[in-house]
Amino acid sequence: MRFHALLTAVLLLPSTGSTAPPTPKNPVTDTYFGTSVRDDYRWLEDWSVPAVQAWSRAQNEHARAVLDAMPHYAQIQQRLASIANFRATSWSGLVRRGDTIFALENAPPKQQPFLVALRSPDDPASARVLVDPNVLDPKGGTEIDFFVPSLDGRFVAVSLSEGGSEAGSVSVWEVATARRLPDLVPRVNGGTAGGGLAWNADASGFFYTRYPRPPERSGRDLDFYQQVYFHRLDTPTDTDAYAIGKEFPKIAETSLASSDDGRFVLATVKNGDGGEAEQYLRKPDGSWTRIATLEDDAAHGRFGPDGSLYLISHRGAPRGRILSLPPGETVLARAVEAVPEGDAAIDDFRITEGRLYVAALAGGPSTLRVYDHGGKALGAVPLLPISAVTGLLALPGDALLFENQSDLVPPAWYRVGADGKVAKTALATASPVDFSDCAVTAEAAVSKDGTRVPLRIVHRKSLRLDSDNPTLLYGYGGYAISQQPTFDPMRKVWLEQGGVWAAAGLRGGGEWGEGWHRSGRRITKQNVFDDFIACARRLIEAKYTKPSRLAIEGGSNGGLLMGAAFTQHPELFAAVVSHVGIYDMLRYERTSNGEFNVTEFGSVKDPEQFRALYAYSPYHHVVDGTRYPPVLMLTGANDPRVDPSQSRKMTARLQAAAAGAPPILLRTSASSGHGIGSSLGEKVGEAADVDAFLFDRLGVAYRPVP
């Protein structure tokens, strides 16, 4: 009864927002392999409880009151909005069908990217709008998860979801008329496991990933057990035919691809988020054969123009090599090596009639190399300095379109021909701000065990190494996701105020391949945190900054990184920004989609993995009386990947430990999820809160820019 009375008190909290709301404790104790662990804020996990919702509203009011009162907040928001709403068109996700190129076009101030069809990359004015979420939902809450054109280009299947939920249903559109067909296939895409689709040869239907539908499963199981079904156009979806998947793991994450002629379909089935995958091939007779097991370590596959299958393999090659199988071959042992392992980590590739174009990572920045089908190196394609290849599209005549961008140069699509000559196409994004006064420095930090960690630093050319520059260090370190150079015009707001921005290429990412990833996952996760701390200390030692002027930022797995970094070394940082993070590592796998992450993080059900998780779990390493840096925590109420309760619990624990100073703020957006598919306005609002918080906590006197 006493705790229920406290919950009622929370419900009746005043809504002034001037102070952080009190958080009642209701201790729960769990025992893991003889170790007792107390949890005071377990009750904040259940969003269905009215008191939890009231507590979250009160936290939002408090955060809003603090952020809105920060100096020059309105001017910061106005500056960011002017940059974000600049009419700078960009194109992504290019797919070619015959003479038509399909792409997602992003054209601020529109809130969401929309699907277009173009005649040529040299003629963006030829773009016809096929599907526009801004028309379907003028408020900007509907987004395109993915699209797949039929092999003949007559139709395009589009997954649409709402509010950042990533819960996508597929609709079908006729390309010639942009007319929506009656077909609507539910529960194709989801958070974490995603979704996929592959058309058959004559465009009469498609294979798709299908999540269970009630009453097949219930509760949380509805977001697992992904299988593959076939939908024939103009037929009821409840008559769709099962294809494969009953043998897939519960945590399957499946993608699908058709060969150019539609005779073959490849299903890549990941075993959760840990990087392991199996490959299944469908032959023209309708049979499916598993061609690569988890032990074969074949991570990703593509069809060549003749139906040959090419796979990136990490078995015995942590930086990757490319294997090829002739059309219809299902015995991996008969594969030949098309591209050997090199000094950079293979990231992606495309096959033309006589070429293999291979994008690889060398610590984060990209290389783009060319091979013939026999594996002979034919040279490298010139790229922007310290840049990333962020898109590839094969063209006839052994040509390739590739998207290239850097921290200082906006993305553009370039064409390289069989002669090796490179030309910029008209699919180039203009920048609303000028980065000519800035530079990028590539350095390295030395981690605790001697590993050299890539560190990319963006700053004004006039920077003085006097240890007094406000500096923001960004990190992630997980899921083999690499910190590649990325053009972000809103970053200029930080730089033009004298800030330094740095990105750390930590273990756990893919900057140096799968070996780099595996040395920062499961029981080796502490390496990621050690790498990040080494990068922070490198910035200090090199006199870019000092602890009182150093802030850190990360999201999702990077939010876990933030929690571990400031609980292990609170003295190093002046401010922390943590987006959609994971903090309670003993409970994460019990959240709605947490099981997907077990192959990346480990499980409390295994004694060795439990010890590793408990050793760094940020929530369990908050110590009362410790002076932690100010923290701004951001989460989305519709997040399908990381349960917002993780942020609620960590906020409550930190506020109790800090006893009111410094500020610990929790910002929960009711109209977003994990950040994927957020509207333009949502992004601007979040960026304004982050910049205002950082300027205030690092003592930056904001100077309006003319």
* Residues involved in catalysis: 556, 674
CB atoms within 10 A of CB 14: 10
Long-range interactions of 382-387: CB distance < 8 A, separation 24+: 382/422, 384/409, 385/440, 386/440, 386/442, 386/456, 386/485, 387/485
Contact 475, 561 (CB under 8 A): yes
Three-state DSSP string of 376-426: CEEEECCCCCCEEEEEEEEECCCEEEEEEEECCCCCEEEEECCCCCEEEEE
For residue 21, the 8-state DSSP code is: P
380 contacts: CB under 8 Å, gap ≥ 6: 367, 368, 369, 370
Cβ contact 263:309 at 8 Å: no
Q: What is the DSSP letter of 260?
A: T
Q: Report d(CA 649, CA 661) in Å as an integer.
A: 18
Q: How far apart are CA 90 and CA 59, in angstroms?
A: 37
C-alpha 317/C-alpha 513 separation (Å) is 9
Cα diameter, the chain: 79
**Angle CA(431)–CA(434)–CA(439) in degrees, nearest 5?**
115
Size of the chain, expressed as the number of residues it contains: 706
Asked if 81 and 109 count as a contact pair (C-beta separation under 8 A), the reply is: no
Q: How far apart are the first and last CA of the chain?
A: 60
